[in-house]
Amino acid sequence: MTNDTSSPALAGGPGAEPDGANEGPRAGRSTLSGQNFSPADNGVSRETRRRVIAASFIGNFVEWFDYAVYGYLAVTIATVFFPESDPQTGLLLTFALFAISFLVRPLGGFVWGHIGDRVGRRTALSLSILIMSGATFCIALIPGYDIIGIWAPILLLIIRVVQGFSASGEYAGASAFLVEYAPANRRGLYAAVVPASTAAGLLLGSLMAGLLTVLLSSDAMQSWGWRLPFLLAAPMGLIGRYIRTKLEDTPVFREMAAEEEAVKAPVSSLFRNHWRQLLQAVGAVLLNAVGFYVILSYMPTYLSSELGLGETESFLATTIALLTYIGFIFLTGMLSDRYGRKKVLISASITFIVLTVPAFALLGTGNFLVIVLVQVLLGAMLTLNDGTLPSFLAEMFPTRVRYSGFAVSFNLSNALFGGTAPFMATLLIAATASDLAPAWYLVAAATISLIAVALSKETCKEPLRHD
């Protein structure tokens, strides 16, 4: 049996033969560098893996494109839905709606985890992308406050809640899908596709927001321009769903289902038998939750609203940082495959504890080149966590509760700390009168994640477990 290591690309070249196609599901374990690996690599062609990568990429891409657009156009959205508030209050209300949509994510984690572990990963992912893209499209259709009054922000809130529910199954499901399809020695690299697609969605959102800001007048942006990016969600979502419905479920899930090993209540089993791993996972996700939304989503607003940088320059700096971030993500995935998940995650926490406050202090200089370099640095630091976390969380839980364990831990931490990060950053700045408040918030998150990861078990060289 081969482990698909012949090509440096994620899925190898065309025309490849299936890996271990002549071996049965219990054909034993292969050996790489003296380590035993799961037979889940059997019977999976490179072409199948390429389609798995595409399906995982596009769904997550659509989800985070929406979040990017909402974050980058927060100032405009605030004037459309909260025109009677002063600018800072309107911005706080806009980010409060952003945060409230995250409160439903733990519930969504339970639901999607149950579907993913009981019915199948593919089913959960196909449904979640359909709901997500439909809800995002509907945001573009909501009339402003000047037309329907208080119903405008109420409708926005309802749709954001639907988005939060659907999104709660996407990141976890795509990560589990990739890890279960990946060659055993490259699970970190394959899983890095998920945060890379996240960054790509943010990148397109940043580019569209920046382009619209440059091309349209303020009045045009407020009346119709801000709606254009949300309209793109429908066709992108339908393409993603089509790709997903053409795939089989993962080899390890099919093997488990064939042997009737799936548990009837995966979430109950998760809390009963794997609560330690669940707590460790919630803590490990904390840096990702706060760091992602502060550095990649809230940063343009921070630069323009708090530091006085022009909106165009803010978008440009974020765009450059996102481009480098995508490259760093895959490098981090490879490093985690080589050196282990714990070492890379611990390095991420330590760099944030040491460098975040000085980095934010340099942002305050107002020098555009310095701001770009600092954002690239912060993005590179974040990739040490983001590029490793998907494989770390997926490997932490056995197949029978993998989707549930990932979805519940990831969404719980994001609900409590991720979705609230832009709101907390804005609130802390207002309360302390210090532009460095978001940096100290990041340091606190990194400290908690450091402790959680240090207490966890290394899973990089271990086979994927069923129970």
Instruction: Dump the DSSP string for 49-61.
Output: HHHHHHHHHHHHH
Q: What is the pLDDT of residue 132?
A: 85
Alpha-carbon distances, residue 239 vs 92, 207, 208 (angstroms): 35, 21, 20
Q: What is the pLDDT of residue 349?
A: 96
Give the whole-number percent of the chain exceeding pLDDT 70: 87
178 found inside a domain: yes
Whether 261 has a pLDDT exceeding 70, the answer reads no
Lowest mean pLDDT among 107-116, 261-270, 366-375, 404-413: 261-270
CA distance 249 to 171: 16
Domain count, the chain: 1
Q: What is the pLDDT of residue 260?
A: 67
Q: What is the pLDDT of residue 1?
A: 37
114 found inside a domain: yes
Q: What is the pLDDT of residues 340-392, one digit of tens each?
A: 999 999 999 999 999 999 999 998 887 888 988 998 999 999 999 999 999 99
CA distance 94 to 80: 10
Name the more confident of 253 and 349. Answer: 349
Q: What is the pLDDT of residues 30-66, one digit of tens each?
A: 333 333 434 444 467 788 888 889 888 987 888 778 7
Single-letter code of the amino acid located at 64: W
Orientation angle between helical segments 193-215 and 46-72, nearest 10 degrees: 40
Of the ranges 154-158, 257-261, 394-398, which is most confident? Answer: 394-398
Residues in contact with 401: Cβ distance below 8 Å, sequence separation at least 6, in sequence order: 113, 117, 263, 266, 267, 269, 270, 273, 274
Give the whole-number percent of the chain exceeding pLDDT 90: 28
Single-letter code of the amino acid located at 282: V
* 142: CATH: 1.20.1250.20
Q: What is the pLDDT of residue 347?
A: 96
Q: Is 200 exposed, middle or buried (0-12, 13-18, 19+ CB in 10 A)?
A: buried
Q: What is the pLDDT of residues 297-330, one digit of tens each?
A: 778 778 877 777 777 777 778 778 888 988 899 9
Q: Give the confidence band of 20 by pLDDT, cuts at 50, 70, 90.
A: very low
Strands of 47-160, DSSP E: none
Element (H, E) at 25: none
Whether 23 has a pLDDT exceeding 50, the answer reads no
Residues in contact with 28: Cβ distance below 8 Å, sequence separation at least 6, in sequence order: 39
Which one, of 216, 205, 94, lies nearest residue 157 by Cα? 94
27 found inside a domain: no
CA distance 124 to 165: 12
DSSP 456: S
Q: What is the pLDDT of residue 217?
A: 84
Q: What is the pLDDT of residue 295?
A: 83
State how far Cα 461 lies from the chain centre.
Answer: 24
Q: What is the pLDDT of residue 466?
A: 66
Residues in contact with 324: Cβ distance below 8 Å, sequence separation at least 6, in sequence order: 376, 379, 380
Whether 214 has a pLDDT exceeding 60, the answer reads yes
Whether 13 has a pLDDT exceeding 70, the answer reads no
CA distance 371 to 313: 10
Q: What is the pLDDT of residue 94?
A: 73
1 found inside a domain: no
207-234 burial code (b ≥16 CB/10 A, e <16):
bbbbebbeebeeeebbeebbbebbebbb
Q: What is the pLDDT of residue 11?
A: 39
438 found inside a domain: yes
Average pLDDT over residues 15-24: 36
Q: What is the pLDDT of residue 355?
A: 95
Please state the pTM of the whole predicted model. 0.79
DSSP 88: H
CA distance 450 to 287: 9
Whether 126 has a pLDDT exceeding 60, the answer reads yes
Domain extent for 161: 46-454
Q: How far apart are the first and last CA of the chain?
A: 24
Q: What is the pLDDT of residue 341?
A: 95
Helix, strand, coil shares of the chain, percent, nearest 5, are 75, 0, 20
33 found inside a domain: no
25 found inside a domain: no
Mean pLDDT of the chain: 81
Pull the structure tokens for residue 156: 């926005």
396 found inside a domain: yes
